[in-house]
Amino acid sequence: MDGWTPIEKWHECARMERPQTHVEVRNADGMTLFTTCGTGLPDKPFDWRTGPVEFRIVAAPRPRRSDPIPAPSPR
């Protein structure tokens, strides 16, 4: 959807977010996570050595239907 935006502009995130979108956050090592704008930046995941450096708005994936629950096996 949009290009990467510097993390310093996170305060503008809520204005940029639209229905059926997620926010992708990337750190300096290229690792990403998906979140929503919410009230502040998400906590740094345990496996991230560096903090977030940029974010972008991306389309949410279409929901997947699960397979039906199989019938119980006879005893």
Instruction: Convert the pLDDT of each residue in 63-73 to its tens digit.
Output: 788 888 888 88
Helix, strand or coil for residue 21? strand
Q: Where are the domains of the chain?
A: 9-41
CA distances 72 to 65, 66, 69, Å, are 21, 17, 9
> Strands 21-27 and 52-59, how do they pair?
antiparallel
pLDDT of residue 49: 93
Give the C-alpha separation, 27 to 6, whole Å.
Answer: 11
| Residue 1 clears pLDDT 70, i.e. is over it | no
Instruction: Convert the pLDDT of each residue in 36-73 to its tens digit.
Output: 887 678 788 899 999 999 999 999 888 788 888 888 88
